[in-house]
Amino acid sequence: MSKKWIEILGNIVFWLLSGWVVLTHFSIQPVQGRLLLFPFYGRTLTPDETDLFMRSSIVTTKLFVILLIAMLLFYANFINIFVLDRSKKYGKIFLRSLILLVVAIASFHVFQNHYPHFQKPVVNSFLSGGILFFYFTVSCAYSFSKIWILADTQNQKLEMEKTQAELNLLRSQLHPHFLFNVLNNLLSMVNQKENPALAKAFERLSGLLRYVVVDSAHEKIPIWKEIEFIRNFAELHALRFEKEELDFQLEVLGTNDKQLIEPAIFIPFIENAFKYGLEPEKNSKIVVVFDLTDGATITFRCINQIHETMQQLKGSGLGIESSKKRLNLVYPHRHHLSIQQNGDFEVLLEIYPTRGGQVKF
């Protein structure tokens, strides 16, 4: 049996048991009256001891209505806490939950006073409010426990993916120092005066390799290293084209370039721009903008043209889909990704690296 069905079954059992307790224990009402009783233990019972206790059908009906209201309150509060707002804005969550509780209590009193047939016997406010408050408390505990379990599951998943990524990285490194040495040897063999472009290409390639092998092994890196990698990446790709065929613009706004960021978080979008936004013998333009003016926000924008022949290429889209999953794991509720295709292909990604930052819509 799946976890989902176990949870549904647990909810059903909870309501059946708690509903049975409420209906059987709180529907008994005292009825004043005298009974002709035989002597009991050598004495006759006084009138105060001859009260009858009977189960009231009207009270039972009212308790059933309270249970229905409690059920609506329970799941409305669950939706408020778990579904609608998991961005840790506890003030708004508390206010909405309090409003739901007040509305639930008021709803029963309106029902009890609106129908004359059900006015007596009266279920006092302490009992009805207590029952509703009990289910409200259980709903809060249930919602926050699910949030905690979900966060713990996501953290475990992230740790597993990081471990697998580190393993894949170790497998792909293939003695990086050896590769660095080979590149340096090749660079020393190139005559920089006769072939400066090739020498520069080797330098860029060495920088890319150093980033992939060394820098990306860290949990977080300064944003300026990511920007430098993108610059080297673009210049290597530009070697395949004539100057007039590719117009690559990289603009950095602001000076907060020491913010820490997840390594290679922007790379898939850059790769996508070079894969689908360039076409030989045609003028192509790629614009990348980093807005670092706000010390608590990193805004990334990438715009590239879409050529007709490149539109016919159908990629798997795994790179961008993987980036979306990675963003959800690393920056949950702390990023906003917008991808638009209207003449040009535009990616807008806002990241709030610090824990205090929240996505604002």
Q: What is the pLDDT of residue 361?
A: 33
Say if residue 267's pLDDT is above 90.
no
Residue 213 pLDDT > 70: no
Q: Residue range 13-40: average pLDDT?
A: 69
Overall average pLDDT of the 102-121 stretch: 77
Residue with tokens 């490194």: 173
On the 0-12 / 13-18 / 19+ scale of CB atoms within 10 A, 187 is middle
What is the per-residue pLDDT for 357?
43
**241-361: CATH topology:** Heat Shock Protein 90 (3.30.565)
Burial of 238-277, coded b for 16+ CB within 10 Å and e otherwise, reads: beebeeeebebeeeeeeebbebebbbbbbbbbbebbbebb
d(CA 258, CA 223) in angstroms, rounded, equals 6
Torsion of CA 188, 189, 190, 194, to 10 degrees: 110
Instruction: Assess whether pLDDT exceeds 80 at residue 82.
Output: yes
pTM above 0.75, yes or no: no
> How large is the average pLDDT for residues 218-241?
85
Mean local confidence (pLDDT), 333-356? 86
Please tell me the predicted confidence (pLDDT) of residue 28: 65
Write the CB contacts of 111 (distance below 8 Å, at least 6 apart in sequence): 62, 65, 118
Average pLDDT, the chain: 78
Identify the band that residue 274 occupies on the pLDDT scale cut at 50, 70 and 90.
confident
When mean pLDDT is compared over 236-250, 266-280, 289-303, the highest value belongs to 289-303
pLDDT at 35: 41
Burial class (CB in 10 A: 0-12, 13-18, 19+), 101: buried
Domain range list for the chain: 3-159, 241-361
Q: Give the pLDDT of residue 67.
A: 92
Mean per-residue pLDDT, 273-299:
87
CA distance 200 to 260: 28
Convert the pLDDT of each residue in 230-247 to its tens digit: 988 888 888 777 777 888
Q: What is the pLDDT of residue 194?
A: 66
Q: Give the pLDDT of residue 34.
A: 41
Q: How confident is the model at residue 31 (pLDDT cuts 50, 70, 90)?
A: low
Would the pLDDT of 49 be above 50?
no
Question: Are β-strands 284-291 and 246-253 bridged in parallel, bridged antiparallel, or unpaired?
Answer: parallel
Q: What is the pLDDT of residues 156-208, one digit of tens each?
A: 888 888 777 766 665 555 455 556 666 666 666 566 666 677 767 777 777 77
Q: How does pLDDT run across 113-148, given as a tens digit for each residue?
A: 776 665 566 677 888 889 999 999 999 999 889 888
